[in-house]
Amino acid sequence: MSSAPTSTSPASNFIRTIIDNDLASGKHRAIQTRFPPEPNGYLHVGHAKSICLNFGLAADYHGLCNLRFDDTNPEKESQEYALAIQEDVRWLGFEWSGEVRWASDYFDALYAFAVELIQKGLAYVDDLSPEKMREYRGTLTQAGKNSPSRERTVAANLDLFARMKGGEFADGAMVLRAKIDMSSSNMNLRDPAIYRIRRAHHIRTGDKWCIYPMYDYTHCISDALEGITHSICTLEFEDHRPLYDWVLDNITIPCHPRQYEFSRLELHYTITSKRKLLQLVNEQKVTGWDDPRMPTISGMRRRGYTAAGIREFAKRVGVAKSENSVDMAIMEGAIREDLELRAPRVMAIINPLKVTITNFDGALTREADFHPNLPELGKREVAFASELFIEADDFAEVPPAGWKRLTLGGEIRLRHSYVMRCDEAVKDADGKIIELKCSIDHATLGKNPEGRKVKGVIHFLSCAHALPAEIRLYDRLFTVAQPDADKDGDFCKYLNADSLQVVQGWVEAAVKDAAPETHYQFERLGYFVTDRRDHQAGGKLVFNRTVTLKDSWTKEQA
């Protein structure tokens, strides 16, 4: 197996430097990574970065990456989440090595290793109450003290642990603790619990077990059993690394992976706490885990973010030890650039204003490219008739300085069509403009007018040929960059009341049969995608705004 990354590998980072050195020294002949989510919620943008890192490293170095579910907390886990996670990984463009793995695959081995620790005098059963255990644990500035249970004999501990497994004791009555150092400055080494009693139905093992191993104990052993060479996790697990090593150093296992930590992603205007995301779902602040305003992978996908764009975003934010607080503009820029290269272009009207052409009768069509730089996308027919829709924002009765769109007595070019002059604005009883009376220069179809220069170009739709569409205008879910900066405050008070506006718009007939998840650039308006849930090809048309053509948020907030 090759030890060299591909020629198109991303810029180096400290993890790549470690891998390069390990391969060059012969410490490893090939690398094996893993992505180990807990199936207790949908994956979010932070997980996307980790997926791109772990699977990307394996691909670049011709190694392998496992998908392993950390299913040690049965009360919060479900098959729905596990299936959604697998779909997300594949949608992002990655495939794991072999079958999906589960921590529960190793429950028998984990139990046997726990027995080994007891036999070596390195683990004991403790029956302190949770309150007493916290008291004995000490504080960051005060050492802990030994539990009275710490000096139980090996035989007594083996007996109690077997009886825990056999279901003789109530939930929470006892735990199995590693015997390390209650005076350690690292709180994770103060005799951490490695097994607890929990009667809960497990999504894979059913009711076979009533004791479940803790994450820190399970994770390192699972890595070792799978032959993981580089166990990569986020920085909050740095203080857990001594426990990771202690467990592997004290059991009989031939492989000892190394853990490396990088800074977790904090994306502005979002939250990445699964607990808080679940709160948004349960309190119906959003429509579900895949709401296009959510920072979940499924939400970003439904919004129209592309897998390639998310991978590019992960590449741009990089991998480091320092704080990784990232402006949303970086994500939106990566998505925008990807869609610019692939999305067909059509015209749509979101806020229609009727235009009547007074010197044209009938209808005509002209061919237009779906993309000026991608002839392989083909062409479509653009209809023109005497009654049109234009965007209401493209007309100003009293134009501001520098106005290059339509005004009374002014001319603009209609996209792919004629030069048009506005002759009259029709108003209703309240003084609102409801229609424009305009005329076209018949000599300007595909030509510039003679003797004058027309600066502005606007898009339009023929009223008779346009298709009605539900258009969902999504914006950022929160009004502040760090909505959960105050960990004790209510992050929901920063929810953006205008994060979704649903309007009845109009689109070109060319999109009539578009399948769900088809991307388009609506010219001059932004990038949109047909909704993967509600859109019906040939029927109800539903478009989600993915991102605007330019970053207007920063300017609006200034």
Residue 348 half-sphere exposure toward CB, CA atoms < 13 A: 32
Contact indicator for 226, 32 with CB cutoff of 8 Å? yes
Among the listed residues 34, 101, 179, 274, the single catalytic one is 274
Q: What is the pLDDT of residue 10?
A: 57
Distance in angstroms (rounded) separating the CA atoms of residues 369 and 209: 63
DSSP letters of 135-149?
Answer: HHH--SSS-----GG
Listed residue (465, 52, 532) closest to 300, CA to CA: 532
Asked about 38 being catalytic, the answer comes back as: yes
Contact indicator for 125, 161 with CB cutoff of 8 Å? yes
Task: Give the pairing of strands 324-326 and 265-267.
Answer: parallel
Burial zone of 250 (CB within 10 Å; 0-12 exposed, 13-18 middle, 19+ buried): middle
Listed in sequence order, the residues at least 6 apart from 528 whose beta carbon sits closer than 8 Å to its beta carbon are 304, 348, 471, 519, 520, 521, 522, 543, 544, 545, 546
For the chain, the distance separating the N- and C-terminal CA atoms, rounded to the nearest angstrom, is 53
**Residue 264 DSSP one-character state:** P
Which structure tokens are listed for 548?
């605007």
Distance in angstroms (rounded) separating the CA atoms of residues 454 and 487: 56
Which structure tokens are listed for 72?
């040690």
Count of beta carbons in the 10 Å neighbourhood of residue 273: 14
Asked about 274 being catalytic, the answer comes back as: yes
Distance in angstroms (rounded) separating the CA atoms of residues 191 and 122: 10
Contact indicator for 149, 127 with CB cutoff of 8 Å? yes
Q: Identify the structural domains of the chain with CATH numbers, from first to last.
A: 14-101+217-330 (3.40.50.620), 107-214 (3.90.800.10), 351-459 (2.40.240.10)
Listed in sequence order, the residues at least 6 apart from 382 whose beta carbon sits closer than 8 Å to its beta carbon are 347, 365, 366, 367, 368, 416, 417, 508
Among the listed residues 16, 264, 366, 404, the single catalytic one is 264
Q: What is the pLDDT of residue 194?
A: 98
Listed residue (463, 458, 471) closest to 383, CA to CA: 463
Calculate ∠ Cα 75-79-80, nearest 5°. Answer: 105
Listed in sequence order, the residues at least 6 apart from 373 whose beta carbon sits closer than 8 Å to its beta carbon are none
Distance in angstroms (rounded) separating the CA atoms of residues 166 and 210: 8
Amino acid at 327: D
Per-residue pLDDT of the chain (558 residues; tens, 9 = 90+): 333 344 345 568 999 999 999 999 999 999 999 999 999 999 999 999 999 999 999 999 999 999 999 999 999 999 999 999 999 999 999 999 999 999 999 999 999 999 999 999 999 999 999 999 999 999 999 999 999 999 999 999 999 999 999 999 999 999 999 999 999 999 999 999 999 999 999 999 999 999 999 999 999 999 999 999 999 999 999 999 999 999 999 999 999 999 999 999 999 999 999 999 999 999 999 999 999 999 999 999 999 999 999 999 999 999 999 888 899 999 999 999 999 999 999 999 999 999 999 999 989 999 999 999 999 999 999 999 999 999 999 999 999 999 999 999 999 999 999 999 999 999 999 999 999 999 999 999 988 898 889 989 999 999 999 999 999 999 999 999 999 988 888 999 999 999 999 999 999 999 999 999 999 999 999 999 999 999 999 999 999 999 999 865 444 443
* Torsion on CA atoms 492, 474, 435, 401, rounded to nearest 10: 90
Torsion angles phi and psi, residue 378, rounded to 5: 85, -165
Asked about 80 being catalytic, the answer comes back as: no
Output the furthest CA–CA distance in the chain (Å, rounded): 103
Residue 417 half-sphere exposure toward CB, CA atoms < 13 A: 26
Listed in sequence order, the residues at least 6 apart from 398 whose beta carbon sits closer than 8 Å to its beta carbon are 407
Q: What is the pLDDT of residue 11?
A: 66
Answer positive or negative: Cα dihedral of 76, 79, 80, 82: positive
Torsion angles phi and psi, residue 439, rounded to 5: -135, 150
Distance in angstroms (rounded) separating the CA atoms of residues 446 and 365: 12
Q: What is the pLDDT of residue 555?
A: 46
Amino acid at 278: L
Q: What is the pLDDT of residue 506?
A: 98
DSSP letters of 414-465?
Answer: ETTS-EEEEEEEEE-TTS-EEEEEEEEEGGGTTSPPTTS----EE--EETTT
- SS3 track for 7-18: CCCCCCCHHHHH
Residue whose token pair is 């810029």: 11
- The 10 Å CB-count burial string (b at 16+, else e) for 56-92 is bbbbbbebbbbbbbbbbbbeebeeebbebbbebbeeb
Which structure tokens are listed for 350?
């979101």
Q: What is the pTM of this model?
A: 0.93
Which structure tokens are listed for 23?
């391969």
Contact indicator for 19, 60 with CB cutoff of 8 Å? no
Which structure tokens are listed for 94?
């990655």
Among the listed residues 38, 261, 332, 508, the single catalytic one is 38
Q: What is the pLDDT of residue 323?
A: 82
List beta partners, residue 345.
521
